[in-house]
Amino acid sequence: MRLQAVLVLVASYTFTSAVADSFQSDCSAIASGFNISNATVWFSEYVPAGTNLSLPENNVTCALSYQVVTADICRVVLYVATSTTSGISMEAWLPRNWTGRFLSTGNGGLAGCIGYADLAYTTGLGFSAVGANNGHNGTSGGAFYNQPEVIKDFAYRSIHTNVVVGKQISKAFYQKTHTNSYYFGCSTGGRQGLKSAQDYPEDFDGIVAGSAASAFNNLTSWSGHFFTATGPTNASTFILADLWPIIHKDILKQCDTLDGAADGILEDPSLCLYRPEGLLCAPNTTNTTGCLTTPQISTVRKIFSPIYGPDRSLTYPRMQPGSELLGAPQILYNGEPFSYTVDWFQYAVYNDTTWNPATLSPRDYAAASRIDPGNIQTWNGDLSPFRARGGKLLTYHGMEDQIITSENSARYYEHVIDTMAAAPSTLDSFYRYFRISGMGHCAGGEGAWSIGQTSLGPTTPLGPSSNVLMALVQWVENGTAPETIRGTKFVGDNPTAGVDFTRKHCRYPFRNYHVGPGDPKNETNWECIQQGSVRDKWLL
């Protein structure tokens, strides 16, 4: 028995070190072996699991100077020209323990920042993964000014190029074509996922697109319109941050139990038609600390209303009620111009650095949508080529999203329904949208928000019922589509402190309903029900 154990140990040791040697030498050799058009490989290096990788080249505004690597990888760093005046910086991370799966990460905001955290997370799960800088470096949109090719990279070409080149690198390194190709991103990353499904259906077998910044020009108008609604901080229409918790409480008073549970979480905020009038200050009061003046009531109404173009066409749906405590007042209702809106209009839409965000009007909404720099809108509702090639699209959105209203994800779903003349039961075969209650923008919030969309280290839920990426893999590879996605809420959002509660989030158009009287923290006390339609709101 003992001898056998020793032999097994020796055998596995020999095996591991032999593999280590060839993996490492293959990695160093690969940089010189490539012949990929328009690509310049800077270097390739072996990085063992656990390395705290220093990223001195990463633009300071990306605010990430190191990344802990979770698997033994071969890291390839290169530049790929996309035109004579543009190009992307990209990286391929190739894990030793490869599952045969390929994956592209996405970006965020207006940023040119490689998603290193997602590269680490997904290579730890055995994907060969790529990430690119979206055609420019840093978080600002300044690089778009007078650079239409850089805008194209941002709108679609960075991801597509990254994938085409990344698949070649993966194949050259492993001497084997990947089995399936995946996409994984949120926010701008969610938009990039939808764009791929719409315009590059061959790129991916499966796409996770979270909290998507689709209808991008219109979203940018919407983000900027809050400043015109609140005015600057000294305007009578402005609402001090202190008042928002009071408004939030009033919202819960009116809407919390619409889902059958008074737990402070709105499962379906689209049902919440909030009326702020109850908070109106008493006539002639001089103390306005706990109440709203008439101009402020009107501001609240504007915030929770859709915006329209000059022809009364819908530009963008309303902010969903519930995000007040997650930073919406600090980010969007803070009495200052929204920086992405300023950048997008100045550097991309109007090519005019004197454009004044205080003048933003429905005419600007229409102009941005019409000019559509780089074809960025991402609103093609015909997903039939993606469906025809067997692609699966898993989307999600937080119901407390404080940056991109979740109502727009439902609107895109309905747009696909209309464009493809399909019913939800038909879309179910290739496109599912999960509404994650109590979740902010891509992560965080008071609900069961952890769905594997981001790595929480060893405590990240990995089973397909609790992890959007693994749910997608199971759907693509086994044909088992997720009915619900279980979210996990950790105690105090500290994964090492244990699980507070879980909740199974429903796919649209189902909504979650508490079939009490049991504890709302027990997931078995909830049911996905289909009740009514919210789409009439957009047809006003």
Ligand X SMILES: *[C@@H]1O[C@H](CO)[C@@H](O)[C@H](O)[C@H]1NC(C)=O
Binding site for ligand X (CB under 6 A): 35, 37-38, 52, 57, 59, 61, 66, 68, 79, 81, 83-84, 89, 97, 99, 126, 133, 136-140, 142, 146, 148, 215, 218, 283-284, 287, 289-290, 308-309, 313, 315, 351, 365-366, 369, 377, 379, 464, 473-474, 477-478, 518, 522, 524
CB of 243 to ligand X, least distance (A): 10
CB of 252 to ligand X, least distance (A): 18
Distance CA 277, CA 294 (A): 9
DSSP characters over 214-272: -SHHHHHHHHHHHHHHH-STTSTT---GGGHHHHHHHHHHHHGGGGT--SS--S-GGG-
CB of 514 to ligand X, least distance (A): 12
Is 28 annotated as catalytic?
no
Q: What one-letter code names the amino acid at 30?
A: I
Count of CB atoms situated within 10 Å of the CB of 172: 18
Strands (E) in 96-215, as ranges, are 101-105, 128-132, 180-186, 206-210
Q: Is 403 helix (H, G, I), strand (E, B) or coil?
A: coil
Q: Which is nearer to ligand X, 107 or 326 (CB)?
A: 107
Is 187 annotated as catalytic?
yes
CB of 133 to ligand X, least distance (A): 6
C-beta of residue 119 within 8 angstroms of C-beta of residue 204: no
Q: Which is nearer to ligand X, 411 or 441 (CB)?
A: 411
Q: Which residue is nearest to ligand X (CB)?
A: 138
Q: Which is nearer to ligand X, 139 or 437 (CB)?
A: 139
CB of 54 to ligand X, least distance (A): 7
Distance CA 151, CA 144 (A): 6
Is 401 annotated as catalytic?
yes
Q: Which is nearer to ligand X, 14 or 522 (CB)?
A: 522
Produce one character per residue of 380-411: b if its CB has 16 or more CB atoms within 10 Å, e if not.
beebeebbeeebbbbbbbbbbbbbbbbbbbbb
Distance CA 513, CA 245 (A): 25
Give residue 167's Cα distance to chain centre: 23
- Kindly tell me the sign of the dihedral angle through the C-alpha atoms of 386, 432, 224, 441: negative
Q: Which is nearer to ligand X, 111 or 436 (CB)?
A: 111
Phi, psi (deg, nearest 5) at residue 371: -70, -40
Residue that is written with structure tokens 């998603």 in the block:
115
The DSSP output letter for 394 is: E
C-beta of residue 151 within 8 angstroms of C-beta of residue 98: no
> Out of 441, 466, 505, 514, which one is annotated catalytic?
441
Residue 517 preceded by cis peptide, ω within 30: yes
CB of 67 to ligand X, least distance (A): 8
Strands (E) in 261-382, as ranges, are 307-308, 314-316
Q: Which is nearer to ligand X, 326 or 464 (CB)?
A: 464
* Residues in CB range of 165: below 8 A, 6 or more apart: 36, 39, 78, 80, 90, 130
CB of 209 to ligand X, least distance (A): 16
Q: Which is nearer to ligand X, 84 or 234 (CB)?
A: 84
> Out of 86, 187, 323, 406, which one is annotated catalytic?
187
Residue that is written with structure tokens 């499904």 in the block:
197
Q: Which is nearer to ligand X, 61 or 232 (CB)?
A: 61
* Residues in CB range of 167: below 8 A, 6 or more apart: 102, 177, 178, 181
Residue that is written with structure tokens 């929770």 in the block:
304
Phi, psi (deg, nearest 5) at residue 378: 65, 60
Q: Which residues are catalytic?
A: 187, 401, 441
